[in-house]
Structure 1
Amino acid sequence: MELLITYDVDTTTPTGRRRLRHVARACEAYGSRVQKSVFEVVASEAQVLLLRHRLLDIIDPDLDSIRAYRLPAGSFGDAAHLGHSPPAGHNAPLVF
């Protein structure tokens, strides 16, 4: 499944800045950053549920917002890129 995840974390306090870093790390574990607060994620249903649970444990629901858009398969490959926006490389081999 392909997801586009966007987030807005309140960073007016040190705690908020820490939550922002933790949200970014959680999203990096499952997808590719394509803009500062936007990730493209290709994951199974189980992985999406794990990511959702992890994000819910991090954010303050009264101050922060996360949106996940489920997209049809192949949507990332069809995305138009304008300006400095290299493709995320979801199909590239992983190097350990």
Structure 2
Amino acid sequence: MMVIVSYDVNTETAGGRRRLRHVAKICSNYGQRIQNSVFECFVDSTKLEQLKEELLAEYDEERDSLYFFRIGKKYENKVDSYGNKSIIDVDKPVVL
């Protein structure tokens, strides 16, 4: 299923900047960045729970926020994308 992960990490302190880097790193392990703090992840329910667990362990619940938008398996009809950002279609073969 497609899940959109969005986060807002308070970076006023060194710890916040560290959390921001760690949250982005965790998200990049599960999907691709589509905006600065937004990732598109293709995961099954088990991977989604792992992702949530890792992110919830990293963020500060009093300063930061996390959102998980479950788009589902039929995401092609639910997402329109425009602009110059190149997004990899994970359902198509990748040639290296």
TM-score, scaled relative to structure 1: 0.87
1:60 equivalenced with 2:60 (yes/no): yes
* Corresponding residue of 1:13: 13
What CA distance in whole angstroms lies between the structure 1 residues aligned with 2:31 and 2:5?
9
Kindly tell me the number of residue pairs found equivalent between the two proteins.
95
| 3-state DSSP of counterpart to 1:71 | strand
Structure 2 counterparts to residues 1-96 of structure 1, below 5 A: 1-75=1-75, 77-78=76-77, 79-93=79-93
Q: CA deviation at 1:44?
A: 1.1
In 1, the alpha carbon distance for the partners of 2:33 and 2:9 equals: 16
Identity %: 36
Unaligned stretches of 5+ residues in structure 2:
none
Equivalents in 2 of 1:83, 1:50: separation in Å? 31
Runs of 4+ displaced beyond 6 Å: none
Cα distance per residue 1:9-46 (max 9 Å; x no partner): 00011100000000000000111111111101111111
Q: Quote how far apart the aligned CAs of 1:92 are.
A: 4.4
TM-score with structure 2 setting the length: 0.87
